[in-house]
Amino acid sequence: MELCTFIVINMFTISNKMLAAVLLISLSVSIKAFSQDPEQKNTLTLTAVWQKTSAYNKQLQMKQLSVESARERVKNARTERLPEVKGDGMYARFSNFALYEDGILHAPTQIPIEKKGTYKISGEAFLNLYNGGKINREIHAAETEAELAAEQKNLTEQELKYKAAAYYLDIYRNTQYEQVMLQDIAERERELVEIRHLQQNGVVLKSDVLRAELRLSKQKMTLLEIRNNLKIAMQRLNIMMGEPDDQIIHIAMDTLNPVSQQRTYEEYLNDAYAHSYEFKISEKETRLSELKLEQAKANILPKVGLFAEYGYSYPQILMYPYSFNLYGLGMAGIKASLPISQLYTNKHRKAEAKINLERQEIEHADTKDRVREEVNAAYLRYTEALTRIQVAKENIAQAKENFRIVNNTYFNQLSLLTDLLDAETQLLQSRFDLTTAEATAQLQYYQLLKATGNL
């Protein structure tokens, strides 16, 4: 729908009252186009945007696969507690027995072997009883890695939600800009008609008409830029949601939620230490470094377990007298081993693990500082944005009054056109500033929630 109707009117045949009536009708049609029922526009709430982003975003899908892979590693680590069972089989053919009676340099005497076939089938099992707690630590490490993968996925989801909110509010802001600009263009067209009428009556100079036309042309160019920004924001949000690039996104009327009761900085900071995903990730990484150090220390501990094995062999050549018969032999008992070489080779592994733990502890402390810094910055920007809204509302009231005064004085030939254009610019800018302040305050609130891990 074309929202801006351009009307060309012959000033010599239509009266001023009729002209004003026609322009008011045209403006009402444009405003009505923006006040349609949201249900007819198939509006999309921010909650719905977040749901689609969580379901279809490719980055989040990759993180989910990482979580599932980590869960499988936990299951695999737990299977290490089960007995190790294996079976062996062998079949072979003997060659003739070569007897070198005169040395290796002379041809041997070939003694044929009566039974040339041999085979062996055996099975064995081993149940670990103790190996320095390595299996338990491997399970704990796998569980920690799974928790780490889950927190990384949550962090990615939170960042995507914030990014989607930024695009969504960008669409809202440019939609509001478009409405304000259309209204301003309609008013400037009406004003241009009046200035032309004054110029025809010899009241103002031709330069006033040219300036007004130039101002109107700039406004139309600004409108084009706003609409292009709107299309760009829509494409970016559609990509995040897995939708076609050209899908039109209509913003819900209640996009800007009422500002919740403001809490203190200390409350937000305590929330961040309890729920921040970055802080949780740093804790999990520190725990992994601790487990690696404990694992390195356990390398010098003995390994003890139960074992059993049984096998069938042919022929019997294990004990004398030999026999060309099938025989079976089994054994069971306790097996223990001590890695003696680890007493001197494990020193550097343990030192490396200790250094990595110290580095991770420092990194965790640095993460805590960054979380505190992020919460403080987000809190201050949020309170600043709330103040900016009140200032913008006051500026609109002042700009309206200033425009009313200058508009009356100009058309009464008591002020210059430049004064009128400045007043119009200030009023338009103040309306833009209010929209920007409202959208920025909402986005800063989401930034604060993101910093505390509650988005």
What secondary structure does DSSP assign to 394-443, as a single string?
Answer: HHHHHHHHHHHHHHHHHHTTSS-HHHHHHHHHHHHHHHHHHHHHHHHHHH
* Average pLDDT of the chain, as a whole number: 82
Of the two residues 258 and 118, the one the predictor is more confident about is 118
User: If you average pLDDT over residues 446-455, what whole number do you get?
Assistant: 88
Predicted confidence (pLDDT) at residue 106 exceeds the cutoff of 90: no
pLDDT band of residue 36 (cuts 50, 70, 90) is very low
Amino acid 375: pLDDT: 92
Length of the chain: 455
Predicted confidence (pLDDT) at residue 368 exceeds the cutoff of 60: yes
| Stated pTM of the model | 0.74
Amino acid 235: pLDDT: 92
pLDDT band of residue 167 (cuts 50, 70, 90) is very high
Predicted confidence (pLDDT) at residue 15 exceeds the cutoff of 60: no
Q: Kindly state the tokens that stand for 43.
A: 């509006």
Phi-psi region of 453 (alpha: psi -120 to 50; beta: other; left: phi over 0): left
Predicted confidence (pLDDT) at residue 12 exceeds the cutoff of 70: no
pLDDT band of residue 228 (cuts 50, 70, 90) is very high
Sign of the dihedral defined by the CA atoms of residues 433, 434, 438, 441, in that order: positive
Amino acid 42: pLDDT: 61
Amino acid 25: pLDDT: 38
As beta bridge partners, residue 329 has 311
Predicted confidence (pLDDT) at residue 65 exceeds the cutoff of 70: yes
User: If you average pLDDT over residues 73-88, what whole number do you get?
Assistant: 89
User: If you average pLDDT over residues 3-8, what whole number do you get?
Assistant: 33
Amino acid 258: pLDDT: 56
User: If you average pLDDT over residues 151-175, what whole number do you get?
Assistant: 91
**Backbone phi, psi, residue 124, to 5°:** -145, 155
How does 181-218 read in b/e, with b if 16+ C-beta sit within 10 Å? bbbbbbbbbbbbbbbbebbeeeebeeebbebbeebbee
* Rounded Cα gap, residues 217 and 408, in angstroms: 24
* Rounded Cα gap, residues 160 and 86, in angstroms: 49
> Could you identify the residue written with the tokens 């049984």?
310
CA dihedral 113, 115, 121, 124 (to 10 degrees): -50
Of the listed ranges 239-243, 255-259, 294-298, 390-394, the least confidently predicted one is: 255-259
Predicted confidence (pLDDT) at residue 20 exceeds the cutoff of 50: no
* Rounded Cα gap, residues 241 and 448, in angstroms: 23
Q: Is 69 helix (H, G, I), strand (E, B) or coil?
A: helix
DSSP state of 93: E
pLDDT band of residue 260 (cuts 50, 70, 90) is low
Predicted confidence (pLDDT) at residue 87 exceeds the cutoff of 70: yes
CA separation, residue 180 to residues 186, 333, 429 (Å): 10, 88, 10
Predicted confidence (pLDDT) at residue 16 exceeds the cutoff of 80: no
pLDDT band of residue 227 (cuts 50, 70, 90) is very high
Q: Is 301 helix (H, G, I), strand (E, B) or coil?
A: coil
Which class would CATH give 42-82+131-302+338-452?
mainly alpha
pLDDT band of residue 254 (cuts 50, 70, 90) is low
Predicted confidence (pLDDT) at residue 229 exceeds the cutoff of 90: yes
pLDDT digits (tens, 9 = 90+) for 369-417: 999 999 999 999 998 888 888 899 888 888 888 888 888 887 777 778 7
* Rounded Cα gap, residues 392 and 383, in angstroms: 14
pLDDT band of residue 40 (cuts 50, 70, 90) is very low
CA dihedral 420, 423, 429, 435 (to 10 degrees): -110
Residues 6+ away with beta carbon under 8 Å from 382: 441, 444, 445, 447, 448
pLDDT over 90 percentage in the chain: 18
CA separation, residue 258 to residues 43, 251, 261, 306, 445 (Å): 19, 16, 9, 68, 11
How many C-beta atoms lie closer than 10 Å to residue 448's C-beta? 24
* Rounded Cα gap, residues 24 and 29, in angstroms: 9
User: If you average pLDDT over residues 190-194, what whole number do you get?
Assistant: 84
pLDDT digits (tens, 9 = 90+) for 348-366: 888 999 999 999 999 999 9
User: If you average pLDDT over residues 72-85, what whole number do you get?
Assistant: 89
Helix (H) or strand (E) holding 297: helix 277-297
Of the two residues 265 and 30, the one the predictor is more confident about is 265
